[in-house]
Amino acid sequence: MALGPRWARRLVARACAPRDPALAVRALGLDLASPLGLAAGFDKDAAHVDALSALGFGFVEIGTVTAQPQDGNPRPRMFRLPADRALVNRMGFNNAGAQAAAARLARARDPGVIVGVNIGRTKVADDAAADYRASAAALAPHADYLVVNVSSPNTPGLRDLQAVEQLEPLIAAVRGGMGERRVPLLVKIAPDLADADVDAVADLALRTGLDGLIATNTTISRDGLRTPPATVAAIGAGGLSGAPIGRRSLAVLRRLRERVGPDLAIISVGGVQDAGDAWARLAAGATLVQVYTAFVYGGPLWPRRVQRDLARRARAAGSNSPLHPC
């Protein structure tokens, strides 16, 4: 997604970027123009951060990036379920690798662009901790925050790393890879975790001093879909995103917020369709909100519409607005 030279992006940003002070929020030590951001998966290689920011996102999360380049899973690997406003993907962390992403992020960005970097395990890596550490070493110098992704269903064995006994040393390895520039560190979890496991991750976040959690990734569930079962079965394996995941994602958010208290940052993602959904997540305790599938269906002006509606809601709420520092 290219918007041409910087002057062209400035024109687009003038029309689309959030400017209402009612939306401004401070989170993860960052000053953001809006709490609404783009989730990882759309810009895997940090090739379009300036253009995506100009369309109206308060922040852009790139990736998932792996230490080594990899092709991902065979095509076709992305499928639309229009009746459900949903997607199924089994991309498999296709990306050009951490060094390539770092080189792109090292270039000058347009003013005000906030970029998070989502890192995952290379499929062929035998030592997960060393693999994540290598990605952190390459990318932390260029990130506004870093996300450890242990929740994609499309890399064999990855979700096993959500178990606290494996996740804790992984977090330590990533921190060790950061070097002198310590950026905020978050972990992204799956909606398919049992409630007891959600609680365990929340407790781990507090114990290890994580800066935040992202909830949730895609689901392997296919319950409650309007799309005919035969069509869903023909698509096969992959992570489901979009409207059907909204209820579970909201439930995980509420459970996490109750468990961790008011101070830990939580980025809520999964099933957010419009400003009403985003506002509900903020009211339920989200510090920030991310989208992916709704942007795919809604098109390039979707962020602008949602930001304007969010600004109206924030102004109407006044001192009761859920937008607060975390």
3-state SS, one letter per residue, for 144-172: CEEEEECCCCCCCCHHHHHCHHHHHHHHH
Residue 64 dihedral angles phi and psi, to the nearest 5°? -75, 135
Task: Estimate the crossing angle of helix 302-317 against helix 6-16, to 10 degrees.
Answer: 40
Residues above pLDDT 70, as percent of the chain: 98
Residue 186 domain-assigned (yes or no) = yes
| Tens of pLDDT, residues 233-259 | 999 999 999 999 999 999 999 999 999
Residue 325 domain-assigned (yes or no) = no
> Residue 7 pLDDT more than 90?
no
| Tens of pLDDT, residues 87-104 | 999 999 999 999 999 999
Residue 12 domain-assigned (yes or no) = yes
| Tens of pLDDT, residues 179-207 | 888 999 999 999 999 999 999 999 999 99
Residue 326 domain-assigned (yes or no) = no
Other C-beta atoms closer than 10 Å to the C-beta of 179 total 11
Pair of tokens at residue 24: 């401004």
CATH number, domain with residue 258 = 3.20.20.70
pLDDT of residue 154: 81
Residue 225 domain-assigned (yes or no) = yes
pLDDT of residue 5: 81
Q: Which residues contact 246 (CB under 8 A, 6 or more apart)?
A: 270, 271, 272, 273, 277
> Residue 124 pLDDT more than 60?
yes
pLDDT of residue 29: 97
Q: What element of type H or E holds 139?
A: helix 128-139
Residues above pLDDT 90, as percent of the chain: 87
Residue 1 domain-assigned (yes or no) = no
Which residue among 151, 152, 241, 249 is the active-site one?
152
Mean pLDDT of the chain: 95
Give yes or no: 152 in active site.
yes
Residue 95 domain-assigned (yes or no) = yes
The confidence band for 108, taking pLDDT boundaries of 50, 70 and 90, is confident
> Which of 137, 138, 72, 68 has the alpha carbon at shortest distance from 103?
138
> Residue 156 pLDDT more than 90?
no
> Residue 326 pLDDT more than 60?
no
| Collapsed DSSP state (helix, strand, coil) of residue 34 | coil
Residue 212 domain-assigned (yes or no) = yes
pLDDT of residue 325: 43
Q: Which domain holds residue 55?
A: 6-320
**Least confident interval from 8-12, 80-84, 110-114:** 8-12
One-letter amino acid at 9 equals R
Number of domains the chain is built from: 1
